[in-house]
A and B are shown apart, each in its own frame.
Chain A
């Protein structure tokens, strides 16, 4: 494979990009964080100083080239600096999900043999102390927030600002060393190691080189014409590849400003205050936002409701066309302009999306209604398809060619191939180096020519040339009669209903499909309130006959729509039940990125699954739950099993022909 081993202008690493930005964009903002109710700002020049002080402090603590430094915290400038500081001294940053339980953390930190960790606060410090004995190589921990930590043993525990202070004090001693280490970095040196969420089995450490990150950031920035003046809000987990690309890769390549929210709960307010121009969110975030808007509109007066629905109807009709630059009559344009002035504009502003020039969603399929809603408001929301192993980008939707059911065309520099099995393969400059300490998995994922198996089944849409993803390749199974079983496809259709938060469809090697369903407490709770239905708990609401009835109509609608697709007509859901608890990552039922773990669920709820197929109408069950602090408890319930009407298939429809 022909790859340039030399980067343009010698910009072969993130620290090199930082040096460039500190000169070129010296007094432009690089980071903002809201603290004590005020946005604090660091320019690129200041950022460079902060990172240098930290890097010197790390050398002072004894960080060697090739060491792994775990980074555990929510999106804050200090952690972004820590990553770049670690890179500057030749170490490899390993961001870890900060909400991981101690066990999960122990696995990751032991696997990479981290000697150092930069963590947020007492909560994380406690977790690491708990697992420290098992981590033989682990030495020093640096924390940002000193609260509650004063009494801890500080032999191997350091406050972030003190490390920087020591670094500044040792400036003359170590600066030549730092410069030498920084200059050694090239396109082939490791930029970051990210652990996959581990939908199946243990997480794998994906090693990404500077080439991967910088090439992917460069080409994607050019694709969407990102500039230095973009604003982004960094709120997605730092351990996720997307955040690394958006908040470090592209931010350093283009030199734009990364804004960090005050706390996880203030994200919505902060989003509105910043008004990002470039925005990424998983479908779930858009869904929640839309649900909130709709709930609040339900509570509005009749005139406002009428006005809203009237203008939204018009927006749905012409909004996407205007956004795509297609021909729209002057009258419609004027009406849309009026709507924008009075309804869409203020609404977008309230949502914090008023300035979005490029918006992306990925990770899961997004409901067509949701997607169209945002696009008709005039928000340029697009889809992309990617994964950690590709440094995010595999396909992207170009402006003007946006559809809800495809994920776009191959990103610049990416080659696509569909195998006979339907599995999607790609090859790109962003393709990862290897799985750390796991040559077997590396070999089975990436072949000698550099083609990587995505694990997703899909096809190229004949009419648009876009890639369409059906399901995870390994989840696509066969029904007892040998027909294709695509659970995710059905689950997504179900999840498009605001009342349904999550669903798990079964049917592999079975006669018919069945489903577990989680209700959305927000949407259903609001409905219950408006209809004077009292409930004391999630469980009680989930078992309410009227709720079950509503869910049944949703399932039947899905069945009708499935019946129209000859490929998937047999995947209609015959029987379902509404779960008495929300599927939760703490119970191992989902990954930290909120993808359902099919295997775990079907084992854990084996009794329920049995009841779906043995014809019983209700079942009593007890389930173990894990609380946030790691303690265990159990809940029990009697669940009703509901039959849903299906559209008969298999009988050739001749009636219409007559």
Chain B
């Protein structure tokens, strides 16, 4: 394991920094069901970290632990060098961790623009009265935030649906809008829950390009869950593999690919 203080440089020349988040011996139970069992791994600044595993391996639960939706019964979450006390999701969000959802969770009746604007809620400080009479601070804030949101809309190339209600969009675009909303929060860590599920090849390629660009352009640390092995291996710097709530592999895509336990979990073990 690398020392926490130093980073490394990837093959394509990206500088990966020190450990920014560390999961230590996390165990999560729902009654008698053990969803996550004694898992530890770390996330370094600026890297793309993937969590993979077959269905029901506990990947989404893991993401929900990071985002504060579940509090694990055992184990500790360390974030930016400090142990994180049990938190509500909004508190985690305030710490700069944003996410997208496996089953898209947008406001269907609102336009793309309004949806993305909701991602800026953390940056809006104006009080209720100021908002209501729409003077001074509230107006200024709206302008600033709109400008930021427009840059993200431009970045993700969704200008043509800016004013379209989300409910009318096809699936692939909704996923992109969700990413836009997460980015609007200016996160330091971005959690993506199956960003490419249900997409065709072309949409997957577009999405991969956006994920790489986000990482490259904003330096955002990305933790993603994905089913598609090809995508994961191409995108990520390091991969955690889970199976039945346990960690069965951790390392670079190549290491993981050649790991016997991983091969067994994905392809099944021959009975002989």
Contact = CB atoms under 8 A, between A and B. Distances in A.
A393 to B, nearest CB: 33
Nearest to B147: A36
Given A151-B14, A262-B159, A265-B159, A36 B154 contact: yes
Interface stretch (B43-51, B212-220, B264-272): B212-220
Given A151-B14, A627-B202, A266 B160 contact: yes
Residue of B146, B150, B160 ringed by the most chain A CB atoms within 10 A? B160
Contact of B151 (A36, A148, A262, A266): A36
**A35, A37, A38 — most chain B CB neighbours (10 Å):** A37
B217 A147 contact: yes
B212 A148 contact: yes
A150 interface: yes
B153 A37 contact: yes
Interface in A9-55: 35-38
Contact of B159 (A147, A148, A150, A263): A263
B41 interface: no
A266 B13 CA distance: 36
A266 B164 CA distance: 12
A36 B150 contact: yes
A628 interface: yes
B160 A150 contact: no
B254 interface: no
A269 interface: yes
A93 B212 CA distance: 34
A152 to B, nearest CB: 10
Interface residues of B, number: 23
A627 B205 CA distance: 12
Nearest to B201: A627
Contacts of A147: 155, 213, 217
B140 to A, nearest CB: 17
Contacts of B12: 151
A463 interface: no
Contacts of A266: 159-160
A148 B216 CA distance: 7
A35 B12 CA distance: 31
A261 to B, nearest CB: 9
B202 A628 contact: yes
Contact of A35 (B154, B162, B212): B154
B139 interface: no
A324 to B, nearest CB: 37
B157 interface: yes
B14 A263 contact: no
Contacts of B157: 263
A148 B215 CA distance: 10
Contacts of A35: 154
A627 B14 CA distance: 30
A624 interface: no
A38 B162 CA distance: 12
Contacts of B163: 269
A269 B163 CA distance: 10
A629 interface: yes
Interface residues of A, number: 16
Nearest to B12: A151
Interface in A239-264: 262-263
B160 A269 contact: yes
Contacts of A627: 201-202
Contacts of A262: 159-160
B215 to A, nearest CB: 10
A38 B146 CA distance: 11
A450 B201 CA distance: 52
A76 to B, nearest CB: 13
Interface string B157-170: 10110110000000
Contacts of B150: 36-38
Contact of A263 (B147, B160, B205, B213): B160
A38 B149 CA distance: 13
B160 A629 contact: no
A263 B157 CA distance: 8
A628 to B, nearest CB: 7
Nearest to B152: A36
A35 B14 CA distance: 30
Contacts of B146: 37
Contacts of B147: 36
Contacts of B216: 148, 150-151
Contacts of B201: 627
Contact of A148 (B153, B160, B205, B213): B213
A337 B193 CA distance: 57
A397 to B, nearest CB: 33
A37 B160 contact: no
A265 B160 contact: yes
Contact of A629 (B159, B205, B217): B205
B183 to A, nearest CB: 14
B217 A151 contact: no
A573 to B, nearest CB: 35
B80 to A, nearest CB: 26
Contacts of B153: 36-37
Contacts of B13: 151
A505 to B, nearest CB: 32
Contacts of A629: 202, 205
Interface in B173-220: 201-202, 205, 209, 212-213, 216-217
Interface in A138-185: 147-148, 150-151
Contacts of B205: 629
Contacts of A151: 12-14, 216
Nearest to B212: A148
B213 A37 contact: no
A243 B213 CA distance: 32
Contacts of B155: 147
Nearest to B13: A151
Interface string A625-640: 0011100000000000
Interface string B6-27: 0000001110000000000000
Nearest to B160: A265
B21 to A, nearest CB: 25
Interface string B212-248: 1100110000000000000000000000000000000
Nearest to A34: B159
Contacts of A37: 146, 150, 153, 159, 162
Contacts of A148: 209, 212-213, 216-217
In the A-B complex, the 5 residue pairs with the closest CB atoms: A265-B160, A36-B150, A266-B160, A37-B150, A262-B159
18 contacts: A35-B154, A37-B146, A37-B150, A38-B150, A147-B155, A147-B217, A148-B217, A150-B216, A151-B12, A151-B216, A263-B157, A263-B159, A265-B159, A265-B160, A266-B160, A269-B160, A269-B163, A628-B202
Interface of A: 35-38, 147-148, 150-151, 262-263, 265-266, 269, 627-629
Given A147-B155, A266-B159, A628-B202, 18 more contacts: A35-B154, A36-B147, A36-B153, A37-B146, A37-B150, A37-B159, A37-B162, A147-B213, A148-B209, A148-B213, A151-B12, A151-B14, A151-B216, A262-B159, A265-B159, A265-B160, A266-B160, A627-B201
